[in-house]
Amino acid sequence: MTLNSPSQLLSWRPRWTVPRILAGIFALLVIGIAVFLVFFNWNLLRPMVERQASHALGRPVTIGSFDVSLRRESWIEMHDITVANAPGFEGPHLATIDRVAIQVRTFPLLIGRIEIPEIAVLRPKGRIETNAAGKNNYTFDMNKDGGDSGPNIVLGHLTIDDADIRYIDVPNKTDLKLHAQTDKLGAKEPIVKVTGDGRYNGQPSKLNLQGGALLAFRDPTIAYPVDFAADVGRTHAKIKGTIERPLDFKGAKLQLDISGDSMSELYPLIGLPIPATPPYTLKGGLDFAGKIIVFQNFAGTVGNSDLGGDFAVNLENARPKMTGYLISNKVVLADLAGFIGAPPGKEDDPKSNTATHKAIEQKADATGRLLPTEPLALDKLRAFDVDVVLRGERIESDFTPLDKLKATLKIDDGFLTLKPLAFGIGDGTIDMNMDLDGRKNPAAVDFTAEFKNVDLKRIMQETQLFQGVGRIAGNTRIVTTGNSISDMLGRGDGELQLFMEGGTFSKLLLELVGLDVTEALGFLLEGQDRQAELRCLIADMKLQKGILTPDTLLLDTSDTNINVTGGINLRDETMDLRIVPAPKDMSILTLRGPIRVDGPMRNPGIQPEAGNLAGRTTAAVLLGILLTPLAAIIPTIELGLGEDSDCTGLIKEVRIKAAERNMPIQVPTKPAAAPPFAPTK
């Protein structure tokens, strides 16, 4: 319509159509709602919010005040928030928070999308506790309604200011005070910093953690940075790197650097039941996939030994399982002493002079026992499964130089097998196998060992009393029960057969054993020792209920024959041995007669047998006494050293001398089967 005059203007009236009316009503409604929201007392909603939070947690939640500030990016603020403690725990509150501020973008709400650019938490404080009965105050009775999961929520930054948490675990002797803070570095997202100190597993502890933004956990496109260091007692660990999907425990690219006084102290930290070791340091890559943790390409030292390889811990089942392949270029046997309950490492070595070594040593000394009495931790043995292979290229020992080590250790529900534990010595080997049933208390043990073509020169290269070339063969088996080496040997039944030939032996020692004063003084005056040739050493011994007795224990040299009788009581660690020498030469001041070695194994007495210094003087008579036991083990000697060995020749010589004295004996024929107690393949 066109207005051409004032009268037309005064007479005009708008046309009220339905759309215009609805638009006007909507505009008035929006304006009214806006005015209402601006002036509304949001604190009236506080009881409803408290009820919703309490229902969700299953624990009373109170809020001091509740307010909303409407803008393009609105803020929801709550002050003086408390979460009630569980009954029976100290204090009325599990946690308190001075202020929580949540920023929400307003317009996306109109289309059902929730965008939260920032959440700020001020001074949260809490006391997380597990009491002596094993109950905790942080397990909530969560109430979840059915239905769909609700609208998608987009989260931004989370900032925490001055957070203090006290973590108490009475059964595990843990009491830590933790402080958390987020710091914003320039335009980057705020990083989280956590520090803590107190006691963990009864040990003084400290920790320091620096990580990326907390809400970056939810973003799989962002590699979450981690820089963590912790000291628990004398165990020190550092972890540094990134985790691509921290909530899924996947995609870790971390480096672990760990060191400590003994690997046994790792049990309360990671659950691995490792025996006591000397001080160690290990470095390598750390990764995880779900509940499988992998320590790969690691390298380091344990005492004076080096160690490297890979191992993984699978936490998926009720019993965790460790698998691994370990390799060492140098293994010092003293560093492995903790595996049999002895003090690990060398006593006079700074790398071994630790509190762990001293504690085990003092405990052993207090028992007055020579054999290790440290008991097996059967509960730990049953709590963890193991499948580990160890390879050692060079072995160092104060007593026996070895060349190689090969061991496969398996533990399945408390049943331990060590098959094989093999050492190389020159062209020979020592092969040991062990079954230990830790499901029983005391544990049941079946141990076998076989010596094959062991190089005598390699065995004795560290001593000046015994030199030369030759071979050692033999086998042993022990069946027993017990929870320590001392118990096992003190209750054991079994057999030991050991044969040795070749080499030279100190004539001074032989003359002293034979009490040949003239020749012994001659060697001392000359200032040098001469050597006697070793023809054969035969040891055929029985173990019955912890009593070790020799059927035959004979040393045959070019100078003297020596026979040993008696026994060793491994139950009370006493010995009563009778050494009968038969020198092959004549001397004016020869006081030939038996020698007694008796008393405690830790400090035995050695003295001539009173009233019996004029014994028989010929080796033939001595050997005649031993005809039957010597003849009985000819087949075993032939299997170990061969038919041409000097030991076999010695027994044939015995047979000839027996015939000369009308002492006929029957020698068993060589069996087709393996010798008694040969290790099962």
What's the pLDDT at 334? 80
- Give the tens place of pLDDT for each residue, 430-444: 899 999 999 998 999
Predicted local confidence at residue 494, as pLDDT: 93
The CA distance from 654 to 660, in Å, is 10
Whole-angstrom distance, CA of residue 141 vs CA of residue 503? 78
Distance CA 590, CA 566 (A): 24
Asked if the model's pLDDT at residue 133 lies above 80, the reply is yes
pTM for this prediction? 0.71
pLDDT in tens, 233-254: 989 999 999 888 776 667 788 9
Listing DSSP states for 599-655 in one string gives: EETTS-EEEEPTT--S----HHHHHHHTHHHHHHTHHHHHHHH-TTSHHHHHHHHHH
The helix/strand/coil state of 381 is helix
554 versus 619: the higher-pLDDT residue is 554
The rounded percent of the chain whose pLDDT value lies above 70 is 67
pLDDT of 227: 93
pLDDT given for residue 589 in this prediction = 41
Q: Which of the two residues, 562 and 645, has the higher pLDDT score?
A: 562
Give the CA count within 13 Å in the CB-facing half-sphere of 567.
13
Average pLDDT, the chain: 76
Q: What pLDDT, on the 0 to 100 scale, is given for residue 15?
A: 57
What is the predicted pLDDT for the residue at 618? 42
Q: Residue 622 has what pLDDT?
A: 43
The pLDDT of residue 257 is 95
Residue entry with tokens 């109109």: 110
389-401 average pLDDT score? 79
HEC profile for 413-458? Answer: CCEEEEEEEEEEECCEEEEEEEEEECCCCCCEEEEEEEEEEEEHHH
Q: Where are the domains of the chain?
A: 29-141+149-171, 465-473+491-660
pLDDT higher than threshold 70 for residue 3: no
Q: What are phi and psi of 37, to 5 degrees?
A: -65, -35
SS3 label, residue 378: helix
State the Cα–Cα distance between residues 251 and 145, nearest whole angstrom: 33
Does residue 629 surpass a pLDDT of 70? no
pLDDT the model gives residue 33? 60
Read off the pLDDT of each residue in 149-176 and give the average, rounded to a whole number: 83
Q: What is the pLDDT of residues 212-232, one digit of tens each?
A: 876 666 666 778 889 999 999
- Residue 74: partners with Cβ closer than 8 Å, 6 or more residues away: 68, 103, 104, 105, 106
Contact present, 403 and 425 (Cβ < 8 Å): yes
Q: What pLDDT does 96 receive?
A: 94
Residue 221 CB partners (closer than 8 Å, separation 6+)? none
Looking at per-residue pLDDT, the higher value among 220 and 20 belongs to 220
Is residue 583's pLDDT more than 70? no
pLDDT at 536 over 80: no
Provide the 10 A C-beta neighbour count for residue 53: 17
User: Who has greater pLDDT, 70 or 172?
Assistant: 172
Give percent above pLDDT 90 in the chain.
26
Name the phi and psi angles at 220, rounded to 5.
Answer: -70, -10
* Mean pLDDT value of segment 643-660: 57
User: What are the DSSP E strand ranges found in 106-249?
Assistant: 114-130, 153-161, 163-169, 174-183, 191-200, 203-211, 224-232, 235-245
Judged against a pLDDT cut of 70, whether residue 201 lies above it is answered with yes
Listed range (213-217, 394-398, 460-464, 571-575) with the worst mean pLDDT:
460-464
With a CB cutoff of 8 Å and minimum separation 6, the contacts of 123 are: 97, 98, 99, 161, 162, 163, 164
For 554-572, write each residue's pLDDT tens digit. 777 766 777 788 899 999 9
The answer to whether residues 126 and 134 touch, using CB atoms and an 8 Å cutoff, is no
Are 571 and 548 in contact, with CB atoms under 8 Å apart? no
Single-letter amino acid, residue 164: D
Give the pLDDT score at 474. 85
pLDDT digits (tens, 9 = 90+) for 51-98: 988 888 888 999 999 888 877 888 889 999 999 998 888 888 899 999
Sorted by sequence, the CB contacts under 8 Å of residue 151 that are 6+ apart come out as 112, 113, 114
Q: Residue 309: its pLDDT value, please?
A: 93
| Structure confidence by residue, pLDDT tens digits, 483-498 | 988 899 999 999 988 8
**Residue 445: pLDDT over 90:** yes
- pLDDT tens, 515-526? 444 444 444 444
Q: How far is CA 510 from CA 254, 457, 468, 558, in A?
A: 63, 20, 17, 10
